Amino acid sequence: MRKSLASCALAVAALLAATALPAAADPALTTRPLPLPLGATLGTAVESTASGVYGTAGVPGRSRAVRWTGFRVVPLEPLDGVSTVIDANDLGAVAGAHNGRATAWIAGRRLDLHPAGFDTSEAIGLSDLGHVLVRATTATSTQLSLWRAGHTRLLADYPFPEPSEATISRRGDVAARVFTTTSERTLVWDAAGGAPRTVSGQSALLPIEFTRTGELLAQEWRVVGRDPIWHAQVVRGDARTELPPLDPTGNAFYGGSVDGRYTPAHRANGSGVVVGSSYIPGVGSHATMWRDGRPIDLTPDGAYAYAVEVNERETVLIRDCVEVDADLDCELSLLRGQDRAEIALPDGATEVSVRLDPYRDQVVGTYRGAAGQTVPFVTR
């Protein structure tokens, strides 16, 4: 079953793979709605970890952070405002915002991490060691800071209200693209402290995420003639490796998000397998896996196909789309080896967001029901 999305990420990346993994049709995976707290009418499932599934639940205009363990829902706070969940880790810590202020929910407590003097802020990521990455903005400036155990470390402060892309590793390293009045740079801060180092390239890299083994996945944007070309990069220390596309004249990029933005995701696993997409000029975008630096075409017949995430079992979450009346009509599936299972949403439902559990072949996410309500779900 295909579900329309207002915006699947634009295609980019490419090169006919030396090795293709044909996908056999399997019975569809069905979705099961997650329960909501008493009085809640809508919800979102944002992250799946070893400690549970995290998201929000509430009524129009009000929401609170919640955790699902199995099919039991546990509110993380009273329903007294608007909460947003952005990230969660395996130890049960949660990062996001509450009433427009950076917030972390740790050990049953809500922590207000809003920096003084800023209009809005949000906690956009956290490590397994208790670091919380905070981004704050005013009408004229942006600040990045790192909080841990009551202490805040200023990382960057620059004169633009730019929602700079930033990501944090499991041990607390941070990478971000930051701006000055004349240029932009990609910086990496070590969790142990010290001055940041600049990641050099033909242009500032867009940091995507740190892998579970510490490498930084990033995109480099280059213009060849009139055409922009994305180059997928793996950065470790001062060494950079470019992941080849399926076609040498095309793009290689990481996944495709629902709203056109890159979001934290498991685009690499602990074994060093990386997934993303490659755009083949004149053909389309194919979901791609890189093993030992070699591209493998996961969707040889794709036109707009994206490998969104990979877990520790090397199962890949794929979004495969076709163009219908100038829009993209997409289906979701899980691919493991040669076995592919479609994820079937209820009739009349459209996908809002999805995440792949890093350890199990289970997808969590949110769909919009036929009546317009958002529904958190897991596959079964």
Span 114-155, pLDDT tens digits: 999 999 999 999 999 999 999 999 999 999 999 999 999 999
Least confident of 180-184, 261-265, 294-298, 372-376: 261-265
C-alpha distances (whole Å) from 204 to each of 176, 248, 284, 329, 354 are 10, 22, 26, 33, 29
Residue 160 scores a pLDDT above 50: yes
Span 224-282, pLDDT tens digits: 666 667 788 999 988 888 899 999 888 888 865 433 333 456 789 989 999 999 988 88
pLDDT greater at residue 17 or residue 53: 53
User: Distance (Å, rounded) from C-alpha 179 to C-alpha 165?
Assistant: 11
C-alpha distances (whole Å) from 323 to each of 7, 8, 190, 209 are 11, 11, 44, 29
Q: What is the pLDDT of residue 227?
A: 63
Name residues whose C-beta falls within 8 Å of residue 369's C-beta, 6 or more positions apart in sequence.
Answer: 346, 348, 349, 375
Q: What is the pLDDT of residue 130?
A: 94
Token digits of residue 357: 């559990």
Q: What is the pLDDT of residue 262?
A: 38
Q: Report the candidate in 334, 292, 294 with the shortest Cα–Cα distance to residue 310.
A: 334
Q: What is the pLDDT of residue 18?
A: 32
Q: What is the pLDDT of residue 260?
A: 39
Dihedral sign of CA atoms 83, 69, 307, 18 in order: positive
Q: Residues of the chain with pLDDT > 90: what percent?
A: 61
Work out the average pLDDT over 281-309. Answer: 91
Token digits of residue 341: 């299972």
Residue 51 scores a pLDDT above 70: yes
